[in-house]
Every structure is written in C-alpha cells, then in structure tokens.
Chain A
C-alpha cells in the first residue's frame, strides 16, 4: 500500500521535502521507520515523535494506511 508521510521542521530540512507517498508492505510504525532510516542518512539520530491520523503513536502501533507525520520537538508559543 501507499502511505503519505509528512515531514516538518528539522526533519523536512533533512529529507529535503515536506511530504511523499511511499510504498510499504509492513504492518507497524517500526517497519516504516526502518525504511525511512535506510532512505535518509542521519534520520535515526534525530529527535522526533510520530503521528498517525494526527494522533501520536508508538513504534509498535499498527499502520492503518493513513497519513503518517514525523514531528520534531514542539516549539509553539
């Protein structure tokens, strides 16, 4: 399936893009992360949280084919 992955802040700076559609056959967030770590050098050492469908999730959350976002530390206000 194809998943839309969004990048923000310093993560977008590293990936050089704000979003992309990725073909992914795994089931969990952790699998997607492995794919992204292979694709983007230096991503693994970055500090970020993951949202699926605009809710924060953990590495063992099941992927539902929704929108995934990589969120660096928040800096609002």
Chain B
C-alpha cells in the first residue's frame, strides 16, 4: 500500500513493547503477508571514559525529517515488493534500555523483508536530521553521532 501523504513519524518518549505488540496484532487481517521483519533501536548504556549513558534526548528538524522518512518510504516501495511498512522514532528523553526506533516491514515473501529492512534502517541513520544528546548518570552530556 503506497501512501503519498507525508506522515508524522515521531512519538514523544520511548516506544513501548505494548505499542509494538499491537502493531503486529493489527496485521493479522492482512493475509497476503507471509513475512514481517522488525528493527528495534534501543538506547545503549555506553561507558565513555568511565561515565555511563543513562538516556538520550532526541530532537529533530521535524519537517525535513518527516519528508526524509517519506522519501525513504517511497524509495523502499519502489525497490522492494512490500505490502506495508511503518516507521516510528522517538523525540524527547529515552532511557537506556528503552526503544527509540521501530521499523516494521511486511511482504508476501521473506527474502524481500530482510533486504528492505536493512536498506531502510541504514537510510534513516544517514539521511534523517535527528539529533541525540547522550546524558550521563552525572547529568553531563555529549552529542551522539551516527557512524
């Protein structure tokens, strides 16, 4: 299903396991699907020079980011035989261990979803203007940079 309208991908705070579970449940009516693939980005409690990351505070250039998510979505539908795809990204504070990115792709066949998911996640990391402030347990911070 292709959708031309630019959606809002952002959610305030962490993405809950209930929300993810419910998303899976909602696809039970789409019986042409034979394979789902899911990517969950989780905030890692990195240890940097003896200080541990306790949370990431996400901000974004929201209009541009939503347009980029839309472009990635269009490119993925163009490239792969997908039945549907969903992307959610957190804004605001997400604690270590919580989910900040949820990408969900579905297709009649399995091979497609493995490739498509990697393509989408890599494009998100490279092209979408989202910024992350890594807050340490002692309340100091540094800025995250995708590598």
Contact = CB atoms under 8 A, between A and B. Distances in A.
Interface of A: 6, 8-10, 12, 51, 54, 69, 71-77
B124 A76 contact: yes
A51 to B, nearest CB: 6
A76 B89 CA distance: 8
Given A10-B143, A76-B89, A77-B125, A54 B63 contact: yes
Contact of B129 (A10, A12, A71, A77): A71
B133 interface: yes
B126 interface: yes
B55 interface: no
B144 A75 contact: yes
A72 B131 CA distance: 7
Nearest to B57: A9
A51 B124 contact: no
B143 A54 contact: no
15 contacts: A6-B61, A51-B61, A51-B64, A54-B63, A54-B67, A69-B61, A69-B64, A72-B143, A74-B129, A74-B146, A75-B131, A76-B89, A76-B125, A76-B128, A77-B121
B133 A76 contact: no
B92 interface: no
B64 A74 contact: no
Given A9-B133, A9-B143, A71-B129, A77 B41 contact: yes
Interface centre among A9, A51, A73 (most CB of B within 10 A): A9
